[in-house]
Chains A and B, each alone.
Chain A
Amino acid sequence: MSSHVWTVAGYLAVVLLLAAIEVAGRRGRGRWITLAEAMRRATRHRAAQIGLVLAWWWVGWHFFGG
């Protein structure tokens, strides 16, 4: 397979992994936690609050601001 296919497969694998963790968290299996719970845990720290807001804004800036 070409490197293009491998790269896209890598991104898809990440998406599937994230979806699987979210589903496991919602079903309460094996103490997995949902994305919302992980975010609440991360925002316990002040620097993380600012960093996460920056990350969110930068995604919008990067993809919509050109």
Chain B
Amino acid sequence: MARERRTTSGRFFDPTVPILLITLLVHVVRQDVVDIAVFAGVVALIAVDHARPVPVVDVRWPAVPWWGVAACCVTIGAVGVLPIGSTPVRIMLVAIGLLAAVAVLTAPRGAPGAGPDVAARWWAWPAVLVLLALIELVSFLLQPDPQTGSYANPTLSTLLDPVLAEPAARLVALTLWSASGWWLLRTIRRPGDRR
């Protein structure tokens, strides 16, 4: 049930926005219009979301009915069987993205409790991911052109696209991707000791 407490907590300039802007710059170099639009739109969305007061509500992740699970399985199966980049696949991915956007934008302001705030070595994860991004960036810059992959300096896409061309591998990857997205959204919307 909604509690009409309103808040504008949260920082706009945490690392997220600079990271998105750097990624946006890479997409500009890639000349990918869709990715440019998506990333620029999300940066604008974060700014708008930061500015608006949002009612804090008790949100419970709904129990998934059997037909919901069936719909997820059918969607994963359809995306896995249909050719990569086909129009139905793109429509389904856009629909999934819109649903995820609604889920995160209607989540309570703040975040789930993260347990004891010990001086854990949390930085290890972003540090290794930055290393991955640097390898990817160098490989991308050494490509003959932004749209042509290079065998000598492969990006992750160059390495994984042939693997994902196989339907079985695609189904496994889709299942992992779907499960991780479900976990992420459930974590974000989880009621708990928010800050």
Contact = CB atoms under 8 A, between A and B. Distances in A.
B89 A65 contact: yes
Interface in B153-170: 153-154, 156-157, 159-161, 164, 170
Tell me what chain B mostly uses at the interface: helix, strand, loop, or mixed.
Answer: helix
Interface string A26-66: 00001111011111110111111111111011111111111
Contacts of A36: 183, 187
Contacts of A53: 100-101, 103-104, 181, 184-185, 188
A: interface residue count bin: 35 or more
A11 B131 CA distance: 9
Contact of A60 (B156, B159, B177): B177
B: interface residue count bin: 35 or more
B135 A10 contact: yes
Nearest to A30: B121
Contact of A32 (B9, B20, B110, B124): B124
Interface in B1-59: 9-12, 14-17, 19-20, 35, 38-39, 42, 45-46, 49-50
A14 B132 contact: yes
B16 A41 contact: no
Interface of A: 2-4, 7-8, 10-11, 14, 17-18, 21, 30-33, 35-41, 43-54, 56-66
Given A46-B110, A50-B42, A65-B85, 4 more contacts: A7-B154, A8-B154, A46-B10, A66-B90
